[in-house]
Amino acid sequence: MMVESGMEAWISTNGEKSLIDLGYGSFGCSHYRRRCKIRAPCCNEIFDCRHCHNEAKNSLDVDPRLRHDIPRHDIEKVICSLCDTEQDVQQRCIQCGVCMGKYFCSKCKFFDDDVSKKQYHCNECGICRVGGEENFFHCKKCGCCYSKLMENSHSCVEKAMHHNCPVCFEFLFDTMSDISVLPCGHTIHLECVKEMEQRLQYTCPVCSKSYCDMSSVWEKLDHEVASTPMPQMYLHKMVWILCNDCSEISEVNYHIVAHKCVKCKSYNTRLTQGGPSSCSPRIAQIVR
Query: How many whole angstroms separate alpha carbon 146 and alpha carbon 149?
Result: 8
- Give the predicted TM-score (pTM) of the model: 0.74
Q: Judge whether residue 76 has pLDDT over 70.
A: yes
User: pLDDT digit string (tens) for 227-274?
Assistant: 999 998 888 899 999 999 999 999 999 999 999 999 999 999 999 876
User: What was the pLDDT predicted at 33?
Assistant: 95
- Delineate the domains of the chain, giving CATH numbers in brackets: 28-114 (no CATH), 123-199 (no CATH), 214-271 (2.20.28.10)
User: What was the pLDDT predicted at 15?
Assistant: 52
- Greater pLDDT, 163 or 19: 163
User: What was the pLDDT predicted at 286?
Assistant: 56
| Residue 40 CB coordination number (10 Å) | 23
Q: Judge whether residue 103 has pLDDT over 60.
A: yes
Q: Count of H helices and E strands in the chain? A: 5, 15
What phi, psi does 10 have (nearest 5°)?
A: -65, -40
**HEC sequence for 230-274:** CCHHHCCCEEEEEECCCCCEEEEECCCCCCCCCCCCCCCEEEEEC
Q: Judge whether residue 41 has pLDDT over 70.
A: yes
| Residue 145 CB coordination number (10 Å) | 21
Collapse the DSSP code of 10 into the 3-class scheme (helix H, G, I; strand E, B; otherwise coil) and give the result.
helix
- Greater pLDDT, 270 or 4: 270
Query: How many whole angstroms separate alpha carbon 235 and alpha carbon 195?
Result: 39
Q: Judge whether residue 4 has pLDDT over 50.
A: no
Q: Judge whether residue 196 has pLDDT over 90.
A: yes
Q: How many Cα atoms within 13 Å fall on the side-chain side of residue 120?
A: 13
Beta strands in 161-268 (DSSP E): 179-181, 187-189, 238-243, 249-253
User: What was the pLDDT predicted at 9?
Assistant: 43
**Cβ atoms of 115 and 104 closer than 8 Å:** no
User: What was the pLDDT predicted at 235?
Assistant: 86
Q: What H or E segment, with its residue span, contains residue 54?
A: helix 50-57
User: pLDDT digit string (tens) for 157-189?
Assistant: 999 999 999 999 999 998 888 899 999 999 999
Instruction: Taking residues 83-96, report their average pLDDT.
Output: 96
**Cβ atoms of 209 and 203 closer than 8 Å:** yes
Q: Which of 172, 177, 173, 204 is nearest to 190 (CA)?
A: 177
Q: Binning pLDDT at 50, 70 and 90, where does residue 21 land? A: confident
Strand partners, 250: 241
Q: Judge whether residue 278 has pLDDT over 90.
A: no
